Amino acid sequence: MSGLLVALRKDLLLQWRGKAQIVAIFAFGATALLLFSFAIGPDSLALRQHAAGFLWLGLLLASTLSLAESFEREVEEQALEGLLLLPASARALYYGKALANWAQLALLGAALVPVMVVLYDAGTLRLLSLLGVILLGTAGLSAPGTLYAAMTAQARARQTLLPLLLFPLVVPVLLAAVKATSLLILGDPMGQLAPWATLLAAFDVIHWALGGLFFGRVVED
Amino acid sequence: MRAMIAIAAAGLYRRYGRRWALVDVSFEVPAGALVMVTGRNGSGKTTLLRVLATAIRADRGMVTILGKDPQREPVREKIALLGHRTYLYEPLTALENLAIVARFLGRDSRRKALLERLEEVGLADRADDPVQTFSAGMRQRLALARVLQQEAEVVLLDEPYGHLDPPGFLLVDRVLQRLRRQGATVLIATHLLRRGRALCDRGLVLEAGRLSFAGATSEMPEPPGADGAGFAEGA
C-alpha cells in the first residue's frame, strides 16, 4: 500500500509539473467538440442528440495524448526501470500511474462538460449522476490505457500504436458511457441508466485487475 | 579459507537480434572487491552490467548475486546500478528525485537527509532546481547520489566518469574508496585504464562479447589501440 501511495504521489507531482500539457490536452478536446459541432450544423435537436457521443469521442481522443504523455517521462531517462530495480513493486507503479491518469481524465471530462453545454445546448440537472458516469467511463479508459501506453512507450510508432491497440478494446466503455450520458441529457423514462453504469463498473473491475496482473510482464525484460 | 563470492557469472550469453553481445562469459568476484570492466566500445560491458543488475535477462547462463539467483530470489534491493541513462525524472528537482527513491526504499526522505546526500556530490546549492536545467555532468552527479542512496552491497557503475569535470573525477574516486571501506562489491566499467588500475583490485576485459582476461589489474593487458592518447584521465 505504501508503495502505491509513493507511486501515486510521484505521478501526481509529475502531472502538476506538466500543467501546460494538461491545458493543451483540454484545448485539444474542446477543439474536437467544436469541430464535431460544425459537422452537425445548426440543427439544435441533432446537436443535443449527438452531444454525449461527441463528448466521449473528444475525451477518448484527448486520452491517447494524456496516456502517452504519462509514460514520456518514464522512458526518456529510463526512470521506470530505475524504480523497478530499487525494487519498487510493478503493481504499485501501475496502480499509481493508472490512478493519476484516471484523476487527470476525470478532470478533463468534467472540464469538457461546460464546453458541451455551450456548443450543443445539452445540459442536465443530474450533475452527480453525470459525474458518476464520467468517473466510471474515465476509469475504463485509464486502466487499459495505462497498460497499453506502457507497452507502446518505447515503440517508434507509439503515437499510432496506442490508439490502434486501445480503441478496439474500449468500445464497450464508449458505448456504455455514451448511452448513459445520453440518458442523462435526453431523459431516462425507462430507467436504463443503471444497467449501462453497471456495464461500465464491470468493465472497470476486470480491466483494473488485469492491468495490475500484466503490467510487470509488460515493463520487465 | 575461500572468500565469499559476491557475484558469480557462469556461461552468460545475451544477444540483440542476430548480434551476440555476450558469449560464454564466466567469472567470479569476491565480496568487497573493486573490479574494473574494460574493453572497446560495443564489447559488451554495458550488457554485462545490465544482466548483473537484472535490468535484462541473459539468454543463457546463470548469475548469482550474494549467493542468490536474482531471477528467483529477492536480491534486487542489494544491487545498485549507475547506467548510461540516469534514471531521473527531468521535470522534478534534484531533491524530489532523491525523495522518490528514499520513499520507495523506506528511508529518511526529509529535506535535511536528502540535502546531505546532495552535499556529497556537490549539488546542494541546486537542490530545488529541476533536473532538466542541469548539465550532463550535474545529472551524472545526481545519478551517483541516487546510487549511493540505495546503500547497496553490490554496486555496478557503468562509465561513472562520463560527462564529469576533473573535480567530478575526484568525487567518483572518493565514492569508490568509500564503497570499498563500507565493504561493498563494486564493478566499474570504464575506459580510464590508469585510473581503473590504480583504484581496482581486479580487472575483466571483454572483446566482442567474450571475456579475454580476468585477473589482477596489475596483470591486465593493454587493450588494442590503447596508446594512452585516447585515454585522457582527467584530474
User: Which residue does chain A place closest to B85, by CA atoms?
Assistant: A77
Cβ(B134)–Cβ(B45) under 8 Å? no
Please give the Cα distance from B227 to B87 (Å, whole number).
34
Q: Which of chain A's residues have a Cβ under 8 Å away from the Cβ of B150? A: 86
The whole-number mean pLDDT for each consecutive block of 10 residues of chain A, a chain of 221 residues, reads 92 94 95 94 91 96 94 93 95 97 97 95 89 98 97 87 95 97 93 95 98 93 66
Chain center to CA of B137:
16
Pairing of β B202-207 and β B210-216: antiparallel
Residues of B with CB below 8 A from A93's CB?
A: none
pLDDT tens string B213-231? 999 998 988 765 554 444 4
The alpha helices in chain A, defined as continuous H runs, are 2-17, 19-40, 44-76, 79-84, 90-120, 127-152, 158-169, 171-186, 193-219
Mind spelling out the 3-state secondary structure of chain B? CCCCEEEEEEEEEEEECCEEEEEEEEEEEECCCEEEEEECCCCCHHHHHHHHCCCCCCCEEEEEECCECCCCCCCHHHEEEECCCCCCCCCCEHHHHHHHHHHHHCCCCCHHHHHHHHHHCCCHHHCCCEHHHCCHHHHHHHHHHHHHHHCCCEEEEECCCCCCCHHHHHHHHHHHHHHHHCCCEEEEECCCHHHHHHHCCEEEEEECCEEEEEEEHHHCCCCCCCCCCCCCCCC
pTM of the full predicted structure?
0.92
Residue B235 pLDDT more than 50?
yes
Q: Pick from A84, A85, A89 the residue to mutate for testing the B interface (most B CBs within 10 Å).
A: A85
The pLDDT value recorded for residue B72 is: 85
- Give the residue among B211, B87, B235 at the shortest CA–CA distance from B161: B235
Contact A133, A177 (CB under 8 A): yes
Q: Is some CB atom of chain B closer than 8 A to the CB atom of A97?
A: no
Question: What residue spans define the domains of chain A?
Answer: 2-219
> Could you tell me which chain B residue has the CA closest to the CA of A219?
B55
Nearest neighbour of B81 by CB, restricted to A3, A73, A85: A85
pLDDT of the residue at B231: 46
Binary contact (A78, B87; C-beta < 8 A): yes
- Whose grid coordinates read 472540464? A111
Is the per-residue pLDDT at B90 higher than 70? yes
**N- to C-terminal Cα separation, chain A:** 25
Beta-carbon contacts of A161 under 8 Å, excluding residues fewer than 6 positions away, are A152, A155
Q: What average pLDDT does the structure give for chain B?
A: 92
Residue B225: the pLDDT is 57
- Is the CB of A219 inside 8 Å of chain B's CB atoms? no
Q: Which residues of B touch A17 (CB under 8 A)?
A: 91-92, 130
Neighbours of B46 (CB within 10 A): 19
Measure CB to CB from residue A10 to each of B53, B76, B100 and give the nearest one.
B100
**CA pair distance B82, B190, nearest whole angstrom:** 12
Residues shown for chain A: 221
Residue type for position B38: T
What pLDDT, on a 0 to 100 scale, did the predictor assign at position A155?
A: 86
Residue A154 vs residues A76, A148, A218, B14, B111: alpha-carbon distances, Å: 9, 11, 11, 20, 34
Q: What is the mean predicted confidence (pLDDT) over B166-174?
A: 95
For the purposes of burial, counting CB atoms within 10 Å of the CB of B228, is it exposed (0-12), middle (13-18) or buried (19 or more)? Answer: exposed
Distance from CA of A182 to the nearest CA of B (A): 40
Q: Which pLDDT belongs to residue A157?
A: 85
pLDDT at B166 over 70: yes
Q: Shortest CA distance to A92 belongs to which of A212, A209, A4?
A: A4
d(CA A159, CA A66): 11
Q: What is the pLDDT of residue A41?
A: 87
- Test A77 with B53 for CB contact under 8 angstroms: no
Which cell numbers hold the place of B198?
590504480
A41's enclosing H/E stretch is none
Residue B184: per-residue pLDDT? 97
Q: pLDDT tens across B20-33, in order?
A: 999 999 999 999 99
Note the maximum CA span of chain B: 52
pLDDT surpassing 60 at residue B2: no
Whether B88 and chain A come into contact, CB under 8 Å, resolves to: yes
- Check whether B79 has a pLDDT greater than 70: yes
Angle ∠(A187,A193,A197) on CA atoms, nearest 5:
145
CA separation for the pair B84, B159 (Å, rounded): 7
